[in-house]
Structure 1
Amino acid sequence: MSFHHLAGIVVECGHTIQAVLSDYGYDASVMTHDEAGFVENNPFWIQIKATDRFDTEPATGRIRFTLDKRDIGLWASNPLPVYLVVFEARTKRACWLHLQRYFEREGIAANAMTNDSRRVFLDPAAVVDPPAVQSWREDKNRQLARMWEISHD
């Protein structure tokens, strides 16, 4: 149900989503399309987690979620954006987090972790909706533009 919820929003925005059949840290890749419908280079990646009820921090209302150290290392090393999407089944609502941006802001590095997992916090206002998906496309295209500044001469 969580994948289908996300897929409906992605397709509504004019993009395509592909489930990753062997889950090794990624559940889906999204190929974006420009305003004329032409495919753009390279996908961004999504890790989808489903829960019956969001685990919220009482004082702030932020959504708590625990990530494995191995996944943090994988996602942090990806040059293209990786998003965590947490889906609450009872409300059919999903929230998201740009993982690399969060790791940088919070100073999280897998090789410096002493525990096997780390709790992250999602803003409950960061709802997966068409504006969110469009912002993911913009993030990916900005990152690609930075990467294309490298010359292969």
Structure 2
Amino acid sequence: MDKRKKRTRTHIIASLSVNNLEYHVIKKGYTLDVPAEDYGYDALIFTFNKKGEIDTGTIFVQIKAKEKLELQKNSFYSYPLKKKDLDLWYDEPYPVYLVLYNAQDEKAYWTEMKENLKARKIKPAKIKNDTLTVYIDPNNILLPETPKQWRDHKQSITKRILAGLYK
């Protein structure tokens, strides 16, 4: 029997997945916070304008990692997610991104969860199982410009929210 706890390959891959995302986020001048407790979000991204002022709103991220991703027959990557998480993310006004990290090629792929579910005409409240398989387009590679795309999406949501508050 081992004397001490071990750091496994799964732990290493999880760290690499966060590091991969954080690298791209920091390169854009944003910050990535990893909550001490996990209640459906693995990371929060705070963005800033060109003057360095913090933006309103938050980008939420759920990160999953595997040693090797396999393309499914439909030419997408897939990952099973808990209905409880989907319920939370669907009700979140700000974007929630699922990032799926492939340790073998050190690349990450992403999807915005509300858009992903809407494209499939799925409402979490109507899901009867405890999990749902989500599909991610292999062309949605996490690239240096991706955090800026995410910021732009968040900013458009912020404008709609603020327009509704101050009518």
TM normalised by structure 2 equals 0.87
Q: After TM superposition, what 4+ stretches of structure 1 lie above 6 angstroms from structure 2?
A: none
Pairwise CA RMSD of aligned residues?
Answer: 1.2
Decide which of 72, 85, 89 is 1:57's aligned counterpart. Answer: 72
Could you list the runs of 5+ residues in structure 2 that have no partner in the other structure?
1-15
What amino acid sits opposite 1:7 in the alignment?
E
1:30 and 1:43 in contact (8 A); partners too: yes
SS at match of 2:48: coil
Q: Bigger radius of gyration, 1 or 2?
A: 2
Q: Name the structure 1 match of 2:146.
A: 132
Render the CA deviation track for 1:22-59: whole Å, top value 9, x for unaligned.
1111000000011122111121100000101113213x
- What CA distance in whole angstroms lies between the structure 2 residues aligned with 1:61 and 1:81? 25
What amino acid sits opposite 1:129 in the alignment?
L
Q: Name the structure 1 match of 2:37.
A: 22
Render the CA deviation track for 1:79-100: whole Å, top value 9, x for unaligned.
0000000001111100000001
Could you list the runs of 5+ residues in structure 1 that have no partner in the other structure?
none
Q: Percent identity?
A: 28
Render the CA deviation track for 1:91-111: whole Å, top value 9, x for unaligned.
110000000111112121121
Instruction: Give the CA deviation at 1:151.
Output: 3.3
Does residue 74 of structure 1 match 2:65?
Answer: no
Q: Name the structure 2 match of 1:85.
A: 99
- What CA distance in whole angstroms lies between the structure 2 residues aligned with 1:78 and 1:63? 24
Instruction: Give the CA deviation at 1:131.
Output: 1.8
SS at match of 2:163: coil
- What CA distance in whole angstroms lies between the structure 1 residues aligned with 2:24 and 2:164? 33
Deviates more, 1:106-115 or 1:64-73: 106-115
- What CA distance in whole angstroms lies between the structure 2 residues aligned with 1:111 and 1:55? 29
Q: Name the structure 2 match of 1:8.
A: 23
Deviates more, 1:110-119 or 1:134-143: 110-119
Instruction: Give the CA deviation at 1:142.
Output: 0.2
